[in-house]
Amino acid sequence: HGRAEGQPEVLARVRAARAAGRRVVLASMGTVVTGDHQDFGWNGRPVGADGQRRGLTGRELCRAAWAGIFDAFGGDSAEDGPLVVVSTGPQPDPLGGAGAPPNAVCLPSVPQVD
């Protein structure tokens, strides 16, 4: 379930999925929201016009997005549905104990150009 793999293994899985006619879903939230930026990062909240921090943290935003992706595209087995590739960023325990479906691969970074 959502096991971390190295980049070459992920590319091989993407190629195999495409060769089998499966769709591939890539979720990458970007380096700012998954990073340590004070205002927009993993634990940051934007500062409003009144100087108060408000809104979602990067962690809350990412976990909500990933949960929606897993709900929409999750399969019952590794071969069921599309292959879901999630770039989680550098934070420890990015999913927060939430389980990824068997057809998802989650890792800190993925090649997006190859």
Angle at 102 between CA 104 and CA 30, to 5 degrees: 20
Residue 19 is inside which H or E element, if any?
A: helix 7-19
- Read off the pLDDT of residues 38-70 as tens digits, 9 standing for 90 and up: 889 999 998 999 999 999 999 999 999 999 999
Please classify residue 111 by burial: count the beta carbons closer than 10 Å to its beta carbon, then call 0-12 exposed, 13-18 middle and 19+ buried.
exposed
Paired tokens of 75: 């399969």
What pLDDT does 6 receive?
73
Per-residue confidence in pLDDT tens, the chain, 114 aa: 445 567 788 999 999 999 999 999 999 999 999 999 988 999 999 899 999 999 999 999 999 999 999 999 999 999 999 999 999 999 999 999 888 999 999 999 987 765
